[in-house]
Amino acid sequence: MELTSPTELAKEKVLTVQDYVLFCVQAVANLFRKPLYLIDMVRQADTIGVGSLPIVVLTGFFTGAVLALQASNTLERFGSITLVGQLVSTSMVRELGPVLTSLMVAGRNSSGMASELGSMVVTEQIDAMRALGTDPMKKLVTPRVVATVFMLFFLAIISDLVGLVGGLAIAKLLLKLDARQYWANAWETLVFQDVFMGLVKPVIFGFIIATIGCFYGMNARGGTQGVGRATTQAMVAASVLILAMDLIVTRFLMATLSYR
């Protein structure tokens, strides 16, 4: 393994961040230039959204169920077991639903995009597209970014709803709570700020997932080994960046929105 000086390593990381920012700007700018490749966007939406639906539903259901089960132990000590619905709804809508859904989609699609585009790069298909006068960024990257942002928004909503159903299953079957009381507590505790936060995060996370996956795929080098490295790096980078942005976005929204 070749040793690299800290200065060179820092320069390399800064250059990577700069290239990624320019990559994102170009991907967004392509939305305002024709053609838009709407068929590709629909095809990617089907692959990313519908293809991720089973894992998102399972993750949301079991997350809500475990959350209700864990919370019941603490709430029961204070005689507040009926508040399980409130805890599940606020936790799923504001935090767990968007974050876990994004992590699942990142694991499935960000690595997939890096693998697919990386394979096209090393087999010189990207160069062939340029030779034929087609912009690879506009044809391959922008449709994936639009489709991921659009579909993750709805996947997060589905995850929230399924998580509430998972919490209801535990509340009804194990905690012997009334279903109507559970739903009443779950809906009444939500305010505009909670819902807004839960809907903003998937849009940001979806952009991160698509751009990270496409960025590492389009910059893959070194044959099949390079594609493997790009796939791993895309998944790791997307997951870490989602968690970091979650902290930043949460802090920003809590500071700007009026929470009761």
Average pLDDT over residues 36-54: 90
- Using the predicted structure, report yes or no on whether residue 47 has a pLDDT greater than 70: yes
pLDDT of 42 reads 92
Place of tokens 């690299």: 4
Query: What does the block give as tokens for 61?
Result: 């259901």
Whether 86 shows a pLDDT value over 80: the answer reads yes
Helix (H, G, I), strand (E, B) or coil at 29: helix
pLDDT computed for residue 256 by the predictor: 86
The answer to whether the Cα torsion of 128, 130, 133, 138 is positive or negative is positive
Max alpha carbon distance in the chain (Å)? 71
In sequence order, what are the residues at sequence separation of 6 or more whose Cβ sits closer than 8 angstroms to the Cβ of residue 234?
Answer: 110, 111, 113, 114, 212, 213, 215, 216, 217
Pick the residue with more confidence: 3 or 101?
101
Is the predicted pLDDT of residue 44 greater than 70, yes or no? yes
Rounded mean pLDDT of 160-168?
A: 92
Distances in Å between the Cα of 224 and the Cα atoms of 17, 108, 128, 215, 216 are 24, 19, 19, 17, 14
Closest CA to 83 of 220, 234, 230, 189: 189
Q: Where residue 236 falls among pLDDT bands split at 50, 70, 90?
A: very high
Amino acid, res. 25: V
Domain locations in the chain as residue ranges: 6-256
pLDDT at residue 74, as a whole number: 79
Read off the pLDDT band of 242 (50, 70, 90): very high
How far is Cα 65 from Cα 221, in angstroms, rounded to an integer?
Answer: 44
5-35 pLDDT, tens digit per residue, is 778 888 888 888 899 999 999 999 988 888 8
HSE of 5, CA atoms in CB hemisphere, 13 A: 3
pLDDT at 98 over 90: yes
